[in-house]
Homo-oligomer: A and B are copies of this chain.
């Protein structure tokens, strides 16, 4: 491996001059050309460690995701990658596998790698998280989850629940099973549900019953069977598209016709929901844009600029075929 000294010697200049060339400092056209040629010839690549050690900064952004096999996560990653590339940042990725301990671990590990910023898709922010983040002194932008202190880009989960609630109401449904997720997850577990309930605030002739499922499709199938064993609603409102797909699967295996006998809705507008049969009525979030926004905000934070504490990414109701009139 060639070092800056090799280049300097070959070009007949001091290494500080080469360094200046590398960092866009003032160098005469003549030496510039000379250095350029030598670098190309030697195929010289500066050592990032030496550079970062001295300059005390890196071009690496850490990203913590709860899982890798999720449409929402993939889309957000695409958005993040998009803007990070443009700004010449690299992505260091950690999969927390939905475990808080692994999230904390990743924060410290990232700190050791001296990332210049952190993009964090958390399920729930605890004091332990706040402490780790504070200790590492890294700029952070949360994605998908709000926090009193940290910067965040969130989806309008409340509004999403409300829009869907109003729609379900308008279609005449009154026997409603809400298949949610743990309230540990504020955005998905609480806000969507609150928005949904709000849509029914002025209605009295309805019966909404609450059930809970895990995030994975197979967990949703189990939860849906459990639900359908207990009750016969006219609609199941699932807290995510993935869970809705699980309900589809359970209903199918019970020979329940969708949507004639049972209507189903989701949240998220996953790619696949469009081609399901019947196509799923859901609420679309702009995941890719949220990822871009979060990356942009983080970079501004790194540059010491001020950024709105909370950025809200909007949503829209996508009406398809899985909800029947009642």
Q: Report A's interface with B, CB cutoff 8 A.
A: 43, 45-50, 52-53, 60, 68-69, 71, 74-75, 77-78, 81, 85, 90-95, 108-109, 111-114, 135, 217, 245, 248-249, 252, 271-272, 274-277
A94-B91 in contact (CB<8A): yes
B90-A91 in contact (CB<8A): no
A77-B68 in contact (CB<8A): yes
A48-B114 in contact (CB<8A): yes
The answer, among B43, B47, B92, for a CB contact under 8 Å with A91, is: B92
B53-A78 in contact (CB<8A): no
* This protein's copies in its complex: 2
Residues of A contacting B: mostly: helix
The answer, among B46, B77, B135, for a CB contact under 8 Å with A112, is: B46
A52 / chain B contacts, CB cutoff of 8 Å: 49
- Give the interface centre of A52, A90, A277 by most chain B CB atoms within 10 Å: A90
A90 / chain B contacts, CB cutoff of 8 Å: 92, 94, 109, 113
A245-B275 in contact (CB<8A): yes
A50-B47 in contact (CB<8A): no
**Nearest Cβ in chain B — how far from A224, in angstroms?**
12
A93 / chain B contacts, CB cutoff of 8 Å: 81, 91-93
A75 / chain B contacts, CB cutoff of 8 Å: 69
A78 / chain B contacts, CB cutoff of 8 Å: 68-69, 95
For the complex of A and B, the 5 pairs showing the least CB-CB separation, nearest first, are A49-B53, A49-B49, A49-B52, A81-B95, A93-B93
- Nearest chain B residue, comparing its CB with the CB of A108: B45
- Nearest chain B residue, comparing its CB with the CB of A51: B49
- Some 20 contacts from A to B, beta carbons below 8 A apart, are A46-B112, A47-B53, A48-B49, A48-B112, A48-B114, A49-B49, A49-B50, A53-B53, A69-B71, A69-B271, A77-B95, A85-B95, A91-B94, A92-B92, A93-B93, A217-B275, A245-B272, A249-B274, A275-B276, A276-B277
B45-A112 in contact (CB<8A): yes
Question: Known interface pairs A48-B114, A113-B90. Does A43 touch B135 (Cβ–Cβ under 8 Å)?
Answer: yes
